[in-house]
A = this chain, B = another copy of it.
Amino acid sequence: MARPELPLAQLHAFVVLAEELHFGHAAAHLGIAQPPLSQQIRRLEDKVGHALFSREPGRVTLTPAGRELLPAARRALTDLADGLAAARAVGSGQAGRLRIGFAASLALTILPDLLRTFGQRFPGVHLDIREMTTAPQITALHDKAIDIGLLREPPAGEVELGFRTVLSEPFVAVLPATHPLAAGTVQLAQLADSPFVLLPRAAGPQLYDQITGLCTAAGFTPHIVQHAVEWQTVCALVGAGLGVSLAPASIRRIRLKGVAFRRVEPGTARTRVAVAWRKNDQNALVKHLLATVSPNPPDRP
């Protein structure tokens, strides 16, 4: 990249004069007196090495060299003005792109609201959403592959990431409609002998451990016969009679024939949905999204 030789102010003066073709008017248009404009043009012509305007009595005209320079000058000025505006918009979080990872089940609950609300407040921002389970989201946040995570059961010990709970919900039992317990509220211990369908532990260790922990607390170890990476699939498998499951209440929105959702006792355990971000992320969009997700100010580490 070559060292720039032409001050922008002079190019600006040049462009305006090329439009007006009249020193006095151009100077007025620039908000300066006429002699300074003459100087600007002269300096520019000195740098270029050739006359850019031909001054004949009564009329000012562009020389061929001036005609050659004009479009480049114009483009440079508009490019810079546009680029500056764009950079400011992005910097202030009025525009740009935000990459959001989300757990599939959230597409049924908080995600649509979030997209709608944020989209209305920041119409210039492109939201790039991608479905991922919890563990990959954590990795992607570290790798800067996503800027925001929407996940269940934030892991502990993540010093570089911030988490804020945005939703807390109880668990429900997922049962085949034909299951004997599908009639009313389920005592957790009653599931002790049923085969279980669950997400693989790798997808979200915290939630997995929480679910198996609930079973343990109820006095049994779940017999897991099948893993599936999405709750949607888990429900389908349950509906097909492969087993039962324990899931966050919001998956009740998944309406599948032959699948029943039942409250469990004890119902105190809750799973938390959290928004996650890099604590050191300076991106204004991240701050805006955090503010959107819970208007009361976040903690700023």
Contacts and interface: CB of A to CB of B under 8 A. Distances in A.
Interface of A: 1-9, 11-12, 15-16, 19, 48-52, 54, 56, 63-69, 71-84, 86-92, 96-97, 280, 282-285
Nearest 5 CB-CB pairings of A with B: A72-B83, A50-B91, A65-B91, A4-B8, A69-B87
Contacts of A92: 49-50
A97 B67 CA distance: 12
Nearest to A19: B1
A56 B280 CA distance: 10
Given A63-B282, A69-B86, 14 more contacts: A3-B12, A4-B8, A6-B84, A50-B88, A51-B91, A66-B87, A68-B87, A68-B89, A68-B90, A68-B91, A71-B83, A72-B83, A75-B76, A76-B80
A127 to B, nearest CB: 14
With most chain B CB atoms within 10 A of its CB, the pick from A2, A51, A285 is A2
Nearest to A92: B50
Contacts of A16: 1
Contacts of A72: 79-80, 82-84, 86-87
Given A1-B74, A12-B3, A69 B48 contact: no
Nearest to A12: B4
Contacts of A282: 51, 54, 63
Dominant SS at the A interface? helix
Total copies of the chain: 2
A175 to B, nearest CB: 47
Contact of A6 (B8, B49, B280, B285): B8
Contacts of A71: 83
Contacts of A79: 72, 75-76, 79
A1 B83 contact: no
Contacts of A8: 4, 6-8
5 contacts: A56-B280, A63-B283, A72-B82, A72-B86, A72-B87
Contacts of A77: 1-2, 4, 76
Contacts of A51: 91, 282
B76 A90 contact: no
A1 B12 contact: yes
A7 to B, nearest CB: 7
Nearest to A86: B68
B81 A49 contact: no
A113 to B, nearest CB: 25
Contact of A64 (B2, B54, B90): B90
A126 to B, nearest CB: 11
A277 to B, nearest CB: 14
